[in-house]
A and B are shown apart, each in its own frame.
Chain A
């Protein structure tokens, strides 16, 4: 249990440290160190959970089970690699004069603050605190989106703030209804604790929970970026600094989905119906298709990949909605590989736009010829996210398709169609970017591509063969969520 406290304490001290110490030349390095220490702490926590099963802290404030512990490790991992990428990236931004000391201090403090709220979302056992932490994540990142202080970035941050704030208010309303239902069965003391709610799920009033779930899905769905609540997402991703886009896409969206799935488990227990699942499938499929279609219209490279995030989050929501062990397993796997691939892509995109000095895709050309590492990184990342074998995204998408074929075969063509559209949308933009001639005066830059290689390597590994312990881990989580092992 100490590990769990440690996981929360490290970013907290990190945030205080950066806020108090101000910006130093080695802030980026410290950011890496803090995240590295935290990764070790999360691994320790994960080993504990895998050995002993679910851990409930004293006072029941924190709950670590196989479902969230794997997300915790993923969070720490992506947090670390993004920090590794962020150090030289931010130094470069500083050199070009887009940022100053005060903003970098804010950036590093809020990076840790964001990590803290992510860990809090994942570890807490209290549905109310889950909401508070989720809102905290918005508050931590909103100033980072407008870090460059351009009119566009201020607009994007304002949109992000207002939309997510208003959206997540619905989730609090849902949580209040949940609390109301829990109070009715008389567990006043711990009525918002997930573990208590889960034990008594069958006693909760189904009518109340049905309505509550609609609010929860809309609320957290805004954060997932489900269509039609997605408008903030492309703006926030495209205007913020690239490391922020990487953690937003790789972590925040996942955690919002995590919150929805936790609530779905309660609602399913209470209503004994597929109502929650159908809602998630509907929203998920819509987001998947709309995201795929919008890929074609983009001009900004970061906007392009944020629509790809919407598309993939839609697919995960859809898969969790189907329920069942196979679909749940696929969704968990997809969560992992999407996080890894998407943050890798954002890292390369960040380098690519620094290289070309623009985010406009019509102006970024000839990456392979200028700097092969970035060009190939982007190409392989895109191949992977589009769902090509042998990458992990292919495996998970294939499993989702398989699960769909079993449960709702008439939806499978729609999924296939969406994957095809998304593939075309990505490649029509990326192909001229990576190939093509090198424009005049384009020079290679100092880039750290280790995070990209590690991420893509992992995704490749997950695609070729899922290691035994990991498969076991996913199975435990699947068992927890869907009630039976795959």
Chain B
């Protein structure tokens, strides 16, 4: 519990409105375990410990923000709470026993059966109720995509959401603006939370083996299920420069520690199709802390944003001891989980050029379930079409190789051709030249090739606007 200068520091936050100090708690202990074991707050449940069921949902006002957001406490490290406001299901109802609106609505609609998932639903909807969104059917499903219920069939819960969340909430959420500490140490575990990029780079150099923790939606699995106790962890989401989003007329630069949720409005404005995809990444609980920087950093072959960013010709801004370095994203992915990032470098931001008038962008994700599923295949297409002729094509796929990768043969088959369904279909048939995917539990190799190829036909029909092309839109 010492900072870089040897000062004693602790993890301070507010828990259900009361000041709270995590004393002698390992900083990478999950918030779920901390709540249940250390605080005796048993309302928050563990359903999966992998951020996919939502039973552990709590509401957080992250440090430096004034939004109540739902997050999965099973993937959140206690160190990430520093300076935040945390609300659990125990903190909702009034002392006189009066239920919070969402709770009352769920009771009214018979929205509970076994009740184990219920606290998580309550927290997800509590966050929705306090958001500034205009609540629609679409938004309700968006807000509930991270919560699984096995009993009710959801209809009653959706009705409760409609009843409770369409009424404006009085008052605003106070900003969580508490002083945070740069370092914690408990039981030999160091947890650094630098506030500047320079500090981060220095720590990266000093602890080259320490994992970088951003939202923790991937690394958090190492804490929750992997039961790993890293000697040193470096948390990046307090780094001011990395939370910045810069929106220019010709490009969007997203800081590596900016969350999906924070980035979404900017992505929506520039590439609506990309925004539709982002809304299918994990759930709100995931996107409220997860970052595009992390999605790139972990270099998974099935990450959803890299194919889009490659098709959009994004550039990574890296920072190391010798200063900044830029690299085209496509060149960053070397092999399965291998990247061009040097051991002493960090990803600071990703810069994405916007479309010019002749360009179109579409991305399609194929998975067993529409919401909160990992892609079997994801295709991203940026075409430059002038006078019905394809001038340029940048096409990238995920789930088709060990890294997100461009479909070079398909691109060649399109460039210079008149843009017709036949052109699209023919280009799609070349998928098998570009990729040799694998069989796994998400899909067979044959299906992956077939569907990737068919996505070219969908692309044509979608751009032509002549046919409804996605079942979810009905």
Determine if chain A interacts with chain B. Answer: no
Residues of A within 8 A of B (CB): none
Residues of B within 8 A of A (CB): none
